Amino acid sequence: MSKAGSLLDWQLAQDRLLAAIAPAGTEQVPTQSASGRILAQAVIARRNQPAADLSAMDGYAVGAGDPTGPWQLVGESAAGHPFAGDLTAGRAVRISTGALVPVGANAILLQENARIDGSQLSTITGSKAEAKHIRRAGFDFAAGDTLLDAGTPLSPAALALALMGGHGAVEVFRRPSLAIIDSGDELASDPAAALPHQIPSSNGPMLAAMAVPYVCAVERIGPVADNKAALLAALETASAADVIVTSGGASVGEHDLVRPALEEWGATIDFWRIALKPGKPLMVARRGKTVVLGLPGNPVSSFVTAWLFLLPLLRRIGGHPAPAPQTVTRLVEADLPATGDRAEFLRGVAKADTVRTFDEQDSSALRVLSQANALIYRPPGSPALQAGSPVQVFLLQNGGIA
């Protein structure tokens, strides 16, 4: 990977950030509230599923013998209320889906194929009781089976599987805590009261909303004034967080004080400024176990750098085995110009096979960002492309991961 002048290649920067971070410690949490968490230990089945033979259909469980009957009805087996007794040839019980199949029963006659005359059960012409309607004990899994490997994200289905396997609690990686510092004299905390020389403070809430699925807590600090003392106080307030994000003040102007404030606070700058458009002023620093990301103040730049760096970092700390977003291929609907010496991420709308860009790509254009569902990735030095050419696209949904 390359550098553009003194700018660090964005992929090298992402790899460098993630490689220096290990997953956090682990904790045991109730399975029913563990959705989205990453398993730190494999889930091993503690029971067979099903634990006994169950009916897959509503109908009649019949004893061994002629599959066309007739049979004498002697009771019922309902879900949660099994028939108390065994079935012998010539006898049957009414049975519901999910109910325990009585000992001695070897087939189920479907309800729609049954003929009832008092306590006598027989089949309609051409039908019979069949064993295929019985869910055999352990057909889904058996005690001792590995149901979920360590590193698995607990999707709703995986969560249900862990519960069915007998696990009321699971061991998962701890999620990080996050503090977000909004800085800038131009920021107004009340969007309804912003003066002409101000803008509503929107980056902090945006970043918090992006991070919520991956953190245990979010603390918002600010807006913070453009002076070093105020920034130092904000950093100290946030010092207990696993990750601190600053928005604004990370560039090279005389009012961009994040870097000197971080250095005075005792943080070590890992890297600063990357070959990315939008988002060049990105900064990464550390103090002890706390990681600090200095994001640009322009809303789109802040969003793109958070999406490419903050979210993968939070997922990495939370134990995700593949925290970086992945691209898909789409055909671009309109011509694209050549790129310069920075990677470009164009806001666009992706469909099943194609993607279109917005004409407006300014780094402050929130309206366009709110309408986008994809970032079109153009590597540095890319030639011009004609409509219909394949491009790499990051889908914004779910942070770009499966």
pLDDT in tens, 177-204: 999 999 888 888 888 888 889 888 899 9
Domain boundary among 124, 156, 173: 173
Tokens of 82: 């099994």
Domain boundary among 297, 317, 337: 317
Residue 60's domain is classified under what CATH number? 2.170.190.11
Q: How far apart are CA 402 and CA 398, in angstroms?
A: 7
207 is a domain residue: yes
- Tell me what pLDDT residue 49 has: 96
Domain boundary among 272, 295, 317: 317
The answer to whether residues 61 and 71 belong to one domain is yes
* Preceding amide of 383 cis, omega within 30: no
- Tell me what pLDDT residue 214 has: 96
CA distances, 398 to each of 307, 326, 327, 347, 395 (Å): 10, 11, 13, 16, 8
The answer to whether residues 43 and 166 belong to one domain is yes
The answer to whether residues 31 and 87 belong to one domain is no
The answer to whether residues 281 and 368 belong to one domain is no
pLDDT in tens, 222-258: 899 988 999 999 999 999 999 999 998 666 555 578 8
Residue 354's domain is classified under what CATH number? 2.40.340.10
Q: How far apart are CA 39 and CA 149, in angstroms?
A: 7
The answer to whether residues 166 and 299 belong to one domain is no
List all residues 6 or more positions away from 303 whose beta carbon is below 8 Å from its beta carbon: 206, 210, 369
Closest CA to 203 of 302, 279, 313, 311: 302
CA dihedral 69→74→77→78, nearest 10 degrees, is 110
Q: How far apart are CA 349 and CA 330, in angstroms?
A: 11
Beta strands in 260-386 (DSSP E): 268-272, 274-277, 283-287, 290-295, 327-332, 343-350, 354-357, 374-378
Q: How far apart are CA 323 and CA 320, in angstroms?
A: 6
* Helix%, strand%, coil% for the chain, nearest 5: 20, 35, 45
The answer to whether residues 114 and 152 belong to one domain is no
CA angle 238, 209, 180 (to 5 degrees): 15
pLDDT in tens, 256-313: 788 999 999 999 999 999 999 999 999 999 999 999 999 999 999 999 999 999 999 9
The answer to whether residues 31 and 165 belong to one domain is yes
- Tell me what pLDDT residue 250 has: 65
Q: How far apart are CA 13 and CA 2, in angstroms?
A: 11
CA angle 195, 197, 200 (to 5 degrees): 60
User: Distance from first CA to last CA of the chain, Å, rounded?
Assistant: 26
76 is a domain residue: yes
pLDDT above 90 (res 90): yes
pLDDT in tens, 287-302: 999 999 999 999 999 9
68 is a domain residue: yes
Q: Are 348 and 372 in contact (CB under 8 A)?
A: yes
Q: Among 114-118, 363-367, 372-376, whose mean pLDDT is lowest? A: 363-367
The answer to whether residues 344 and 292 belong to one domain is no
Structural domains of the chain, count: 4
70 is a domain residue: yes
The answer to whether residues 197 and 271 belong to one domain is yes
386 is a domain residue: yes
The answer to whether residues 71 and 99 belong to one domain is yes
244 is a domain residue: yes
322 is a domain residue: no
The answer to whether residues 272 and 378 belong to one domain is no
CA distances, 148 to each of 31, 46, 107, 155 (Å): 13, 13, 33, 11
Burial 298-329 (b: 16+ CB within 10 A, else e): bbbbbbbbbbbbbbbbbbbbbbbeebbbeeee
Domain residues for the domain of 193 are 3-25+174-317
Closest CA to 297 of 176, 185, 217, 178: 185
192 is a domain residue: yes
- Tell me what pLDDT residue 4 has: 43
Q: Are 129 and 93 in contact (CB under 8 A)?
A: no
- Tell me what pLDDT residue 253 has: 55
Residue 41's domain is classified under what CATH number? 3.90.105.10
Bridge partners, 272 (sequence order): 283
Burial category of 92 from C-beta neighbours within 10 Å (exposed 0-12, middle 13-18, buried 19 and up): buried
Mean pLDDT for the stretch of residues 60-78: 93
pLDDT averaged over every residue in the chain: 93
Closest CA to 265 of 218, 213, 229: 229
Residue 223's domain is classified under what CATH number? 3.40.980.10
The pTM of the full predicted model, rounded to 2 decimals, is: 0.88
For 227, phi then psi, to 5°, come to: -145, 150
Amino acid at 52: A
Q: With left for phi above 0 and alpha for psi between -120 and 50, is residue 116 left, alpha or beta?
A: beta
The answer to whether residues 185 and 305 belong to one domain is yes
**Rg of the Cα trace of the chain?**
30
- Tell me what pLDDT residue 189 has: 87
